[in-house]
Structure 1
């Protein structure tokens, strides 16, 4: 049963690849490209259509559906955003010695970590990249919700992990906050004045990334609680 399920998934993925590569493909073309019988291809394509991964036009040709397009757009968007922010992440890690992160919000009120520059200290935070956490209470979650205070950055301790402090600031585009830039380190090292220093450091780099994305340096993003 497991082997059959795996083969079904492989066939469905082959069909998705065929439709995506062609942009538009008939049932016959889809079946040929995926090396499937037309009846099998049609059954799988109908399932993919009902799930929004493909759509069928008036002439019967299959095209990428809204869910497939959306996944591709998000993947490309995350890659582009990470590439834009990477120099600032490296600068944060170099200047602070702590690990720097870039994260984005998810539709289910989560925080997804998409890029990192590892700190240089012997005791340092290791990768959260690819991990998703709830927004509630976390520094990056507050930033992504537009709950950034007047100073422009947020700090939170022992929310995602015990004895870990995160300091985050918003990355903005003309449409609003699109990501959060942060540094993360052990609580014994990130206290008092050091947190304030890191807050200003993270804010400066977040504003640098925001400028690359076309955000105005004069106006806060919609929903931000600060004016500069």
Structure 2
């Protein structure tokens, strides 16, 4: 009897561990609806207030809900936002830390979950010798990375990592995994959702792919950019014939 009980417990543990924390097809819209409900514990405004205070009790599931909630905000224009994010990165790269700090602070007023800018902001504050503020911002960035890790293992298209921005997968690999990036591209999963794949490179491990789901971002893609992307893909297919 005891042996059977142990077997059952082990089997239950295996099933529990095998279950995904987040499934895009079934969970994205459900969570998004909750973030719009002022009475729900996943209400976007409530979660954002806690995030801005760097609340250490925020769970990975709550931070993931926060990211999902932002996709419904009018400020969410991921492909246009990348231009500003890259500008701030370039200011830091050029040693213009004060300018980077000012521009990052302005951008964060409307885009509080841009993980790229959160870390650029932390870097600019660190360089300005505001180390306490830099630590807070870095902690916020790590909360987002941990929520991304929680959302999926990323080893297959069926279990991708949630990425708010098309650039966030690269940030995750560079900053969270301390890896490099080789090949990259976009695919469609079995549900027609856009998934980016990035090859993770390392000096000590064999390269492997990570998959990041960005369907919510592609739905916000400007028509001109979408046409250019489709044209590039078509030309690539023709050249491979």
> Quick check: which one's helix share is greater?
2
TM-score over 0.5 (shorter chain): no
Q: Relative CO higher for 1 or 2, CA cutoff 8 Å, sep ≥ 6?
A: 2
TM-score by length of 1: 0.27
> Quick check: which one's strand share is greater?
1
TM-score by length of 2: 0.26
Of structures 1 and 2, the larger Rg is shown by 1
